[in-house]
């Protein structure tokens, strides 16, 4: 047995059909409210619970302890002796250090097992595209080093932009104080935020969701050269009509080789609010 299993976090927002096709193992991120732990699933966090938790003044998104990751890797060791875990960007979360501690525990307990914890330096479907690239390489029988090389190549190219109704939800995490202050400088505006290479940065303030979508399309245009195939994912939270509209705008303008529409997970909606629409994209094979 020399199979490589690919793992990523639920916040990668991968469409279920892709998860199933490439047998990607999803670890639901953790949310703790009033000492109760919830998994990032529709079962633990149905819409009515998501909406209630969005109104809370504080939330706790501390990742799982190393023992949890050890248990996940142990399960996978029965079908693979190599694991690549593509995690959310380390600048905003301790997931990578805790997962690495779990990987060390797993490798000490199972010397035949090799676990590579890969920092995606991003989140949502930008992270998802990196995990998908790794899974496609694994499906072709590529070696561990070749899979990491393929993931690195997409990591260096992938970008994402998000149009929010408000940053007030995200401000509760304490991680975007500068952006929240910038976005609150004007009334009745919707901020567009970029995320790339581990950095979240302000892009524009717009007056309507339509202007936000147009702004996203403009930023995609600025970041591609058209020399390679374009891979795109539209992400939404309770905005299915807008997501389809944005997908059509991108399809008409760029004729991407690959286009997905996917939803932000329950924890992402609790953390960032429900009125989000975004896009992740990269050019490559």
Cβ of 123: how many Cβ atoms within 10 Å?
Answer: 24
109 near 142, Cβ under 8 Å?
no
Residue matched to tokens 């990668």: 12
The whole-angstrom separation of Cα 72 and Cα 80 is: 12
Q: For residue 192, what pLDDT band results from cuts at 50, 70 and 90?
A: confident
What does the pLDDT look like over 210-262, one tens digit per residue?
A: 888 999 999 999 999 988 999 999 999 988 999 999 999 999 999 999 999 99
What does the pLDDT look like over 16-58, one tens digit per residue?
A: 999 999 999 999 999 999 899 999 999 999 999 999 999 898 8
The whole-angstrom separation of Cα 14 and Cα 256 is: 18
What pLDDT shows up at residue 183? Answer: 47
Query: Phi and psi of 119, rounded to 5°?
Result: -80, 115
Query: Domains (ranges, CATH) in the chain?
Result: 4-29+64-155 (3.40.50.10440), 159-284 (3.30.1180.10)
Between CA 172 and CA 180, with CA 175 as vertex, the angle to 5 degrees is: 70
* CA proximity to 119, closest of 148, 145, 146, 141: 148
Q: In what order do the strands lie in the sheet with 229-236?
A: 199-206, 190-196, 159-163, 277-284, 229-236, 258-263
What single DSSP character describes residue 252?
H
What is the three-class DSSP state of 272?
helix
Whole-number mean pLDDT of the chain? Answer: 90
49 near 80, Cβ under 8 Å?
no
What does the pLDDT look like over 121-174, one tens digit per residue?
A: 999 999 999 999 999 999 999 999 999 999 999 999 999 999 887 655 555 555
């Amino acid at each position: 047995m020399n199979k490589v299993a690919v793992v990523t976090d639920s916040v990668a927002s991968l469409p279920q059909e892709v998860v199933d096709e490439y047998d990607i193992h999803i670890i639901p991120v953790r949310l703790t409210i009033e000492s109760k732990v919830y998994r990032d699933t529709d079962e633990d966090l149905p819409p009515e619970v998501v909406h209630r938790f969005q109104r809370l003044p504080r939330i706790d998104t501390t990742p799982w302890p190393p023992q949890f990751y050890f248990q996940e890797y142990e399960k996978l060791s029965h079908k693979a002796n190599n694991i690549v875990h593509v995690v959310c960007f380390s600048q905003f979360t301790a997931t990578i250090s805790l997962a690495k501690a779990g990987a060390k525990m797993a490798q000490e307990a199972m010397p035949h097992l090799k676990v590579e914890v890969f920092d995606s330096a991003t989140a949502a479907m930008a992270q998802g595209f990196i995990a998908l690239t790794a899974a496609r390489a694994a499906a072709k029988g590529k070696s561990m080093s070749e899979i990491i090389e393929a993931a690195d190549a997409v990591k260096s190219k992938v970008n994402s932009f998000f149009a929010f109704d408000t940053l007030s939800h995200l401000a509760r995490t304490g991680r975007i104080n500068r952006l929240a202050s910038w976005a609150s400088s004007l009334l009745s505006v919707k901020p567009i935020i970029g995320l790339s290479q581990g950095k979240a940065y302000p892009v524009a303030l717009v007056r309507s969701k339509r202007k936000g979508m147009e702004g996203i399309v403009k930023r995609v245009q600025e970041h591609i050269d058209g020399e390679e195939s374009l891979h795109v994912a539209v992400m939404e939270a309770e905005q299915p009509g807008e997501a389809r509209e944005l997908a059509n705008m991108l399809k008409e303008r760029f004729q991407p080789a690959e286009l997905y529409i996917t939803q932000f997970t329950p924890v992402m909606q609790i953390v960032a609010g429900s009125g989000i629409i975004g896009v992740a994209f990269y050019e490559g094979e």
